[in-house]
Amino acid sequence: MIELRTPAEIEQMRPAGAFVAEVLAATAAAARLGVNLLELDALAHDLIRRRGAESCYIDYHPSFGASPFGKVICTSVNDAVLHGLPHDYRLQDGDLLTLDFAAAVDGWVADSAVSLVVGTPRDEDLRLIDTTRRALAAGIQAAQPGGRIGDISAAIAAVAHAEGYSINTQFGGHGVGRTMHGDPHISNDGRAGRGYPLRPGLVIAIEPWFLETTDEIYTDRDGWTLRSADGSRGAHSEHTVAITEDGPLVLTAP
């Protein structure tokens, strides 16, 4: 079911958005050479406790997950692009890391993701990350009241296709509110003018993610981490956005 939020409820969601942005900034700053992914998860967990927030991940067990996630942040490295389960791995020079974090504050959820390179970057990785960021900006700009979900999808796809990337449509954006994942689904490819109307009060996560040379993925043996079928690297950018009478409002802006 698609729920629309009142202006007062959107204001109540701001603390969750600010907290998610804070945690992503802190974990991104901590992601240095030699740092263990489990240390990043522990940092996020500590920040949740200090804030009195609630993890959206630790008990999360959808149909596509092998078991409850058990951690509080997704850490996807190199050929992993989504749902990266933190494990005993120390970051190495040149690793492409995606951090994806969602949490609830006072019962309201926000969700966001960033990709970055640890140490010495490859030009190909910087281009891939930049493309996801520009696609996210285009998707947000297209999230105008009176438009359609397809406007967002088409805007994202135009940026990706211009750079020669193909698009996987199995996973994409989604509604956000009292829970992390709700309707509507927001594909990263689609046709403008189609789909659910963008009405004021709709709160969604917009999240373009692309792989360097494929659009096919598989699930790692850990039962969660999604990796590229050909070993190429992936990047992912995401914000929680509210549709308002005045246009899109990014709740997870740094």
- pLDDT 10s digits, 102-121: 999 999 999 999 999 999 99
Query: How far lies 97's CA from each of 10, 39, 180, 184, in Å?
Result: 31, 14, 22, 28
Nearest of 204, 205, 207, 206 to residue 234 by alpha carbon = 207
Query: How far lies 215's CA from each of 81, 168, 169, 212, 233, in Å?
Result: 11, 5, 9, 8, 11
Sequence ranges of the domains in the chain? 7-250
Neighbouring C-beta atoms of residue 3, cutoff 10 Å: 13
* Contact status, residue 16 vs residue 105, Cβ threshold 8 Å: yes
Nearest of 174, 180, 173, 181 to residue 157 by alpha carbon = 173
Tell me the per-residue pLDDT of 205-246, one tens digit each, with 9 for 90 and over: 999 999 999 999 999 999 999 999 999 999 999 999 999 999
Cβ-based burial of 235 (10 A; exposed 0-12, middle 13-18, buried ≥19): buried
pTM over 0.95: yes
Tell me the per-residue pLDDT of 35-78, one tens digit each, with 9 for 90 and over: 999 999 999 999 999 999 999 999 999 888 889 999 999 999 99
| Fold classification of 7-250 (topology level) | Creatine Amidinohydrolase (3.90.230)
Nearest of 204, 37, 194 to residue 136 by alpha carbon = 204
Return the pLDDT at 253. 97
Interatomic CA distance for residues 249 and 243, integer angstroms: 6
Return the pLDDT at 153. 98
